[in-house]
Amino acid sequence: MASFSFGAGNAGKLARIPLYAAGRLFTLLVPRARDTWVFGSAAGLADGGWALWREAVDRHGVDATWLTGTAAEAREARERGIRSVPRGSVRGLWQTARARVVVVTHGLGDANRYAVSGAFVVQLWHGIPLKRIGLDSPETLRSGFLPRSRAVRAFLRIMYRRTAAAIAVLPAASDLVRGRLESAFGLYDGQVVVTGEPRVDVLSIGTPASRREAARAIIARAVGAPASASPGTRWVLYAPTWRDGDVDPSIPDAAQWRRIQQVLERHDATLLVRPHHLGAGRYAPPSGVDRVRLMGSDVLADVTPALPGVDVLITDYSSLAYDAGLVP
């Protein structure tokens, strides 16, 4: 799995300050086109970004381009028949600089980060804060460059606030969540609005029975059921949260994998392991452990539609704990 930490990420931001300055000048010279949008998401064509795309583009005819981060995303965009460009390319820079509206789900790097200035930024975020995030977490300001320097941390805080100030609107699930997001991003009441979150709309479409049937089909296509499982096998989803570059401490050893297999066999269950896409460490069940399936974002980018098919969720601080609460 890939690993990311705030220390390395923030050091990179400091090194790219001249590029941010050049991008600011570029956006001052390039006029933004009326009613043109760009979308980007670290999760790919999934989550709240994809939900809003379907509403804005498919239903209301918005002129939009998806900014892809990988070759796999670009291939998926072609398969879905939508217009896309690589966000890190010259075309991605131009499309972002020309767009009136920029939609992201993680950070401004979901689009071309150097051309966002001056756009109407819609930050959908990718979950409900269950743990401290943003300005409320000291980890956010950790830097690999002069890690003990208070001046560097203070400068990073200023940069973070200035970046967050670009957000025009951030939807929240409730007034409680609104307060958490305002605090985490340093935003004001008018920027964070209680609308519900686009990414969970799929959990209210159709009937509970139809959602469960569709979700179990999604899971089966993504990971396949063990040969020893019955048609009614229980699906147990394990979704640990991100640990800022540290190795996930809950990865089982060989003996623990075998014990897990025994419990799953006893209850006719299959364990779906969804490691965080920025996490470190590798879940690798040994031979003979056939009731464990890896269902990371590389296997299933958008897990939300699969939640009605899951019988048990095991997690620590993932906001899937909230999303699962929407499933009867």
What averages of pLDDT result for each successive group of 10 residues across the chain (328 residues)?
68 86 94 95 94 96 97 96 97 97 96 96 92 86 78 86 92 94 92 94 94 95 86 92 77 95 96 85 90 93 95 91 91
| CATH topology assigned to domain 205-326 | Rossmann fold (3.40.50)
DSSP letters, 94-124, are: HHHHH-SEEEESS-GGGS-GGG-TTSEEEE-
Q: Which amino acid is at 300?
A: L
Tokens 């620590």 sit on residue: 316
H-type alpha helices, the chain: 6-15, 17-29, 47-53, 71-80, 90-98, 150-164, 175-185, 208-223, 254-266, 320-323
Question: Radius of gyration (Cα) for the chain, nearest Å?
Answer: 21
* Mean per-residue pLDDT of the chain: 91
72-102 pLDDT, tens digit per residue, is: 999 999 999 999 999 999 999 999 999 999 9
Alpha-carbon gap, residue 178 to 189, rounded angstroms: 8
Tell me which fold the domain 6-200 belongs to. Answer: Rossmann fold (3.40.50)
| The domains spanning 6-200 and 205-326 adopt the same CATH topology | yes
Question: How far apart are the C-alpha atoms of 290 and 208, rounded to whole Å?
Answer: 29
d(CA 17, CA 143): 15
Q: Where are the domains of the chain?
A: 6-200, 205-326
pLDDT tens profile 198-212: 999 999 999 999 999
Distance CA 17, CA 20 (A): 5
Both structure tokens of 291: 């009731």
